[in-house]
Amino acid sequence: MYEQVKQLLIDELGIDERLISPSAELVGDLDINSIELADLVMVCEEQFDIEMAEEDLTGLVTVGDVVDYLENHVN
């Protein structure tokens, strides 16, 4: 799942692969803004056929948080 999320960050948001790690903060380390975060959520929802609850999004601080969330919500 981590590799899939990493590839989404590279392909969809143009994030430098060298910056991506499980502990990298989406906003602090990867400089993802709110619009890009919304794009990431939409891409994840489409790619993994899930709906991410808005209240869950505040807990997605790091790349690892996104991976954990997807691992717990994707069948």
Q: How far apart are CA 17 and CA 35, in angstroms?
A: 20
pLDDT for 16:
96
Summarised one tens digit per residue, pLDDT across range 30-66 is 999 989 999 999 999 999 999 998 898 889 999 999 9
> In the chain, how many domains are there?
1
pLDDT of residue 75: 76
Q: What is the pLDDT of residue 50?
A: 94
Write down the pTM of the prediction.
0.90
Is residue 13 within 8 Å of 35, Cβ to Cβ?
A: no
Contact between 70 and 49 (Cβ < 8 Å): no
* 63 Cβ contact list (under 8 Å, min separation 6): 2, 5, 6, 9, 20, 21, 22, 23, 24, 26, 30
The phi and psi torsions of 47 (rounded to 5 degrees) equal -65, -40
User: What are the tokens at 66?
Assistant: 């996104």
The domain that holds 48 is classified in CATH as 1.10.1200.10
Residue 22 confidence (pLDDT): 98
**Full domain range(s) for residue 49:** 2-73
